[in-house]
A and B are shown apart, each in its own frame.
Chain A
Amino acid sequence: MNTIDHHWQRFTLKQKLSRYAVYLVLVIAFVQSIQSVEVIPEFLLDAPEQMADMFTRMWPIDFAYYPVAVHDAMIETLNIATLGTLITLIFAIPLALMNASNIVNSAWCHWISRFFLVSSRSVNSLVWALLFVSIFGPGVIAGVLAIAFRSIGFVGKLLGEAIEEVNMGSIEALKATGASWMSILLKGYWPQVLPAFFSIVLFRWDINVRESAVLGLVGAGGIGVVLDDSMNLFQWDRVAMSLLAIFVIVILAEIVVVNIRKRLL
């Protein structure tokens, strides 16, 4: 008689062992880090009190400061984010085309484009800003270029993936008519990647609005400069005003992006 004594197991022994190894490594890393990181316990215990103190100093928000300095800086921040996103496209579109295996079929081109895309993403926007501040001096230009160079990797990677996903049927039809490569790009690829293109650009613009708000801390223009100045002078009510302005603009940007995407897709 054939009895059912088969013991069902979800994972093989090797899978189990490797999973436990990951957990073990995590625990060891955590314990090791906790032990060696230099955290002063008094500071940790003191933290809630200090934070409460900071918020009470922030409380009566200095709304009168908005027309004085915050408004212009906010407009500058939006300009940095928008212009940075637009400049990104100049670099990101060629790199995306080079990275898409259905357009360029050469391993060399893939490697070059991937190198640029990865290094653009690896360097944080604040670090890009530091670099451009030492090149162009403090100001909006450094901010715009920092945003642009940081976004190249993101936009280029996602756009390249969108190009790789197009339906090749219409491309082949265009090729069969003897169309030039420019018209193949414009009439074959472009209509198909259009929705993806706009949603990627809008998404990045939304991120850039957040990022451009902090670039001023290293001197690259925008609301961050106002924030930094009032923080150095311990004018916490003005800091609160700047933070509130950033909060509002970030929420507004998100609402705008969500609405445009709804219409687009």
Chain B
Amino acid sequence: MAGINTPQNRENPFKQNWFVTATWLLVICYVLYSFNAMGLSWERFNDGLGHASNLLGRMVPPNFSRWSLLMSGLIESLEIAIISSICGIFISLFLGLFAARNMMPSWVSTPVRTLIALCRTFHPVIIAILFVKSVGFGALAGILTLVVASIGFIAKLFAEAIEEISLKQVEAIRATGAGFTSIILFSVMPQVFSRFIGFSTYQLDSNLRNSTMVGIVGAGGLGGTLFSAFQRFDYDFVAAILIVIIALIMFGEFLSNIVRRIFR
């Protein structure tokens, strides 16, 4: 009778992969080892939970009474973000062009690429420390830090965008006998402009986030206010600052969405 017969020797589609199992076992061993190395005991965790509820309790009515201090920090953060984004994006325009391998000979692009990679390697906070030590406390160190961070991000992506363009338009413009500047302006830029706007708005957004943080090491902005509030255990003021930072970032996201829609 032709019924439904189930062949017993068919291959299991979900075979046990011993390599993957071994990797997961290794991960579990690592977690156990590192928990041990950290010295995390149950009591410490329990204590921590007590401290956490204490902390949250002290944070809960956020204290906006020192709003003038808050506003001045906020405005400084905003200024740092705007100046550093515009300077950083402007410098990245040139660096990205110089780093593109299809536009420049390799003796230009290789050193520029190394410079960009160097800007990207260190965390902004480390760069901020170095700038604070060399140009002193204040907004200037923050601006320089975020300019470096912007170069590391935008110049790299911009160079990659230029490397992906179609060379036919470049040849067409070159055939008219145009000079180098005209080639860049009329054949390269139109092809990468919309992506460049995308990178720039993203960088403005991320500079806004980072400008609230570089203050922790003394480079100006709201971060300094936050750090000193932490050190003075003014947790209700900390809560107010955190709320303002989150609001600022949401506002930045809203703005960059508008800009992206305009330039789409």
Contact = CB atoms under 8 A, between A and B. Distances in A.
Nearest to B226: A127
Interface in B113-127: 121-123, 125-126
Contacts, number: 144
B136 A43 contact: yes
Interface string A178-196: 0000000001000000000
B140 A43 contact: yes
B73 to A, nearest CB: 12
Interface stretch (B99-107, B178-186, B211-219): B211-219
Bin the interface of chain B by size.
Answer: 35 or more
Interface in A7-38: 15, 18-19, 22, 26, 29-30, 32-34, 36-38
22 contacts: A22-B263, A30-B86, A37-B80, A39-B138, A43-B136, A47-B140, A53-B134, A79-B37, A79-B38, A82-B34, A86-B27, A123-B246, A124-B210, A127-B245, A130-B216, A131-B55, A134-B235, A135-B55, A139-B38, A213-B123, A217-B125, A247-B121
B135 A50 contact: yes
B227 A40 contact: no
B52 A141 contact: no
A218 interface: yes
Given A36-B79, A38-B138, A47-B135, 7 more contacts: A19-B263, A22-B263, A30-B83, A37-B83, A214-B126, A217-B217, A250-B122
Given A82-B30, A83-B31, A135-B52, A47 B134 contact: yes
Nearest to B137: A43
Nearest to B78: A33
Contacts of A79: 34, 37-38
A110 interface: no
A127 B213 contact: yes
B249 interface: yes
B242 A123 contact: yes
Q: Is the interface of B mostly helix, strand, loop or mixed?
A: helix
Interface in A176-226: 187, 210-211, 213-214, 217-218
A250 B121 contact: yes
A218 B125 CA distance: 11
B38 A141 contact: yes
A38 B82 contact: no
A51 B134 CA distance: 5
A243 B51 CA distance: 34
Contacts of B95: none
A63 interface: no
A251 B121 CA distance: 8
Contact of A130 (B37, B51, B134, B227): B227
The residue in A32, A130, A246 that gathers the most chain B C-beta atoms within 10 A of its C-beta is A130
B178 to A, nearest CB: 19
A33 B227 contact: no
A209 B230 CA distance: 25
A59 B27 CA distance: 40
Interface of A: 15, 18-19, 22, 26, 29-30, 32-34, 36-40, 43-44, 46-47, 50-51, 53-54, 79, 82-83, 86, 118-119, 122-124, 126-127, 130-131, 134-136, 139-141, 144, 187, 210-211, 213-214, 217-218, 227, 231, 243, 246-247, 250-251
Contacts of B55: 131, 134-135
Nearest to A183: B14
Nearest to B261: A18
A33 B262 contact: no
The residue in B37, B55, B125, B213 that gathers the most chain A C-beta atoms within 10 A of its C-beta is B125
A82 B38 CA distance: 13
B209 interface: yes
User: Sorted from nearest, which 6 A-B pairs have the closest CB atoms?
Assistant: A33-B79, A214-B125, A50-B134, A51-B134, A136-B48, A124-B213
A33 B38 contact: no
Interface string B142-164: 01100000000000000000000
Contact of B31 (A37, A86, A243): A86
A23 to B, nearest CB: 10
The residue in A19, A50, A134 that gathers the most chain B C-beta atoms within 10 A of its C-beta is A134
Nearest to B141: A43
Interface string B184-221: 00000000000000000000000001101100110000
A218 B216 contact: yes
B51 A136 contact: yes
A29 B138 CA distance: 20
Given A50-B135, A217-B217, A134 B263 contact: no
B139 interface: yes
Contacts of B138: 38-40, 43
A251 B82 CA distance: 30
Nearest to A15: B262
